[in-house]
Amino acid sequence: MPEPRGVDALLADARARLVRLTPAQARAAVDDGALLVDIRYAELRERDGTVPGAVIVERNELEWRLDPLCDHRIAEATGDGRQIIVLCNEGYASSFAAVSLQALGLRRATDLVGGFQAWRAAGLPVSPSAGQVAAPVAHSGR
């Protein structure tokens, strides 16, 4: 077994693999066709709102929903060439999630520095509605 390293070291390793985006960069990337994926849980979306156009995929479903080879993928999961920007509340969980997507072959997966809170603080569009959530995955033994 490897020596325990702590979450801060794991987070630093994950972020070293990413080209993380500021809110303005993420907005420009979305305007150019990137897919923004909101992995925040329902309570946060209900409390704070959502980013218009973001696809909502709960964190526990992310890999099944974004893997282009999986039968349970969402229609927007078109292949490894599309840029995917993962959005969490403050930009921590999204770093781990983006690296997981890279491990699936989605080489352009990244995340948003500061998450939803930074997006909102930058004055970028936020909708008070909860948006559309992808249907849960029914998978066996994974």
pLDDT tens digits along 37-65: 999 999 999 999 999 999 999 999 999 99
CB-based contact 129:50 (threshold 8 Å): yes
In the numeric block, which tokens belong to residue 68?
């282009």
List average pLDDT for each run of 10 residues in the chain, which is 142 residues long.
89 96 98 97 94 95 92 86 96 98 95 98 87 50 48
Measured in Å, how far apart are the chain's first and last C-alpha atoms? 23
pTM across the whole model: 0.87
In the numeric block, which tokens belong to residue 94?
């999204």
User: Looking at the DSSP assignment, which residues form a beta bridge with residue 87?
Assistant: 38
- In this prediction, residue 137 carries a pLDDT of 53
- In this prediction, residue 129 carries a pLDDT of 62
CB-based contact 66:36 (threshold 8 Å): no
Four-residue CA torsion sign, 102, 116, 72, 34: negative
